[in-house]
Chain A
Amino acid sequence: MMDKRMTVDEVVSQLWDGMTLGIGGWGSRRKPMALVRAILRSPLRELTVVSYGGPDVGLLASAGKIRRLVFGFVTLDSIPFDPWFNRVREAGEIEVTEYDEGVFGTGLSAAAQRLPFLPTRAGLGSDVLRLNPHLRTVRSPYGDEELLAVPALKLDASLVHLNRADARGNAQYLGVDPYFDELFALAADRCYVSVEKIVDEFDGPVQTLLLNRASVHGVVETPHGAHFTTAAPDYGRDEPFQRHYVTSAKDPDLWPGFVDRFLSGDEASYQAAVAEFA
């Protein structure tokens, strides 16, 4: 029987420079932050990051890990903008592929269904096409409508954070929204799942078992691993800490202190520093 349990650092050791990496969640919600923090500690570089962006994008940008970002938005939800994302954009330091959030999901769906593209009306008439000259349109074979042919958003690997999993990689969300995590898993060659708790038996309705083990390559137990984003119902967003992140990220004089205090050690020392902060 396969046992796919591993540590955050073992997950990161299976990633490589220049890869296309999908990150699940939505804004500042259920982000695999322990895995993101492990990437910050690693020598990984030149990543193409594909994300409904939140602080995962900001933190990876702060450490110069992102070469290209594929996105429809970056927001911290209760705080509109991520200071690090805005800084690297305004300095022209990263390349971007900016889609409508629906076009982004359509690209993931195409990859998940192993199709070269899927059609959508979203994007037509907007600057999504002007800014992404690789995009093509397709005429409906059943009528006159011209639609956007969204290319499959194929991922080398995905990282997602759910509430529970078993050792074999079946994984469960207990909040109200699965976000796009199933598509991130299916659009990727490999998917790594961090969870609040690894269990032998699942509680709750069977339809909360979002991912089955055939699409999961590694599973990590990392309590509070989505901090400071939400992992409801286990915990909500840590608003005071998120405000502290934003204050620190806005001020170049404060940022080194934030890194020293929270990001210079391993995940256990991060969680200890957060407990002390609270």
Chain B
Amino acid sequence: MSDITRAEVAIIACAELFRGDGEILVSPMGAIPSLGARLARLTFEPDLLLSDGEACLIADGRTEGWLPFRKVLDTVVPHGKRHVVMGANQIDRHGNQNISAIGDHARPKKQLLGMRGGPGNTVNHRTSYWVPRHSRRVFVDEVDIVSGVGFARARQAGVAGFHDLHRVVTNLGVLDLRPGGIRLLSVHPGVSVDEVVANTTFELDLADVTETRLPTSEELHLIRVVLDPKSLRDKEV
């Protein structure tokens, strides 16, 4: 299966984020994480709850729940039975994430989306990140503005109790977010460890790097035929 694309490997890496999550709400932002979540539910995590991106929970083409934005913010986020995969314009060596703005907040060089739910997500439930272009502009020593809360800040603010940073999936590999130092967990097939190191400003723990697994033939069929026949995955990676 030499024709497997990088996007398909990234979908597998995203699906693996949810292994063991069971009956919780997964909120994937972006095409690749969404395909990963749907693949996980069709295969090894059949109990995941998935939103349609609007106000409904959808399973097997039928509506199984109502979840408007206000209910998400008032109850789902603080209740904590949720795993969100957010984007990240910057991530630093402390696990802080920025989607607010680049540069000085009063007059940013580049205005981004804003804080969105980053501060609330990271102190209430499991949070992972998806970075479609792994580069030194994204993986920086210190983020300009902290939206998603990293390990040291969570501890200092006394909110480490529900703080549960998980992983970062990128187009090159998978990073494990840990308080003692960020670890390179796997590189995608065809990517070298050196390439990831060269595209990250801070030091990574390289003690035990594996290769991201390939999709099985069943998974490949599900991705190509069932979940993404229009190949939206190739627009993101």
> Is the CB–CB distance between A100 and B120 below 8 Å?
yes
Is A145 an interface residue when CB atoms closer than 8 A count as contact? Answer: yes
Shortest A15–chain B CB gap in Å is 25
**Which chain A residues lie closer than 8 Å to B113 at the CB level?**
73-75, 80-81
A137-180 interface code vs B (CB 8 A; 1 in, 0 out)? 00000000110000000000000000000000000000011111
B142-162 interface code vs A (CB 8 A; 1 in, 0 out)? 000111110001101111001
> Is the CB–CB distance between B116 and A145 below 8 Å?
no
> Is the CB–CB distance between B118 and A176 below 8 Å?
no
> Is the CB–CB distance between A73 and B145 below 8 Å?
no
Nearest first, the 4 closest Cβ-Cβ pairs linking A and B are A122-B120, A92-B107, A73-B114, A126-B119
Is A123 an interface residue when CB atoms closer than 8 A count as contact? Answer: yes
Shortest B122–chain A CB gap in Å is 8
Please name 4 further chain A to chain B contacts, defined as beta carbons within 8 Å, in addition to the given A100-B115, A125-B153, sorted by A numbering: A81-B113, A92-B106, A124-B119, A176-B68
Number of chain B interface residues as a range:
35 or more
> Is the CB–CB distance between B117 and A101 below 8 Å?
yes
B89-110 interface code vs A (CB 8 A; 1 in, 0 out)? 0000000000011000111111
Within 8 A of B (CB), among A89-119: 89-92, 98-103, 105, 109
A127 to B101, CA, bound (A): 11
Number of A-B contacts (CB under 8 A): 136
* Contact surface of B with A, Cβ cutoff 8 Å: 54-56, 66, 68-70, 73-74, 77-78, 100-101, 105-120, 122-124, 145-149, 153-154, 156-159, 162-163
> Is the CB–CB distance between B158 and A100 below 8 Å?
no
Is A85 an interface residue when CB atoms closer than 8 A count as contact? Answer: yes
A170-207 interface code vs B (CB 8 A; 1 in, 0 out)? 00000011111001000000000000000000000000
Which of B77, B153, B157 neighbours the largest number of chain A CB atoms within 10 Å of its CB? B157
Shortest A107–chain B CB gap in Å is 12
Known A92-B107, A98-B100: A180·B70 in contact at CB below 8 Å: yes
Nearest residue in A to B106 (C-beta to C-beta)?
A92
Is A121 an interface residue when CB atoms closer than 8 A count as contact? Answer: yes
**Which chain A residues lie closer than 8 Å to B115 at the CB level?**
72-73, 98-101, 126-128
A46-63 interface code vs B (CB 8 A; 1 in, 0 out)? 000000010000000000
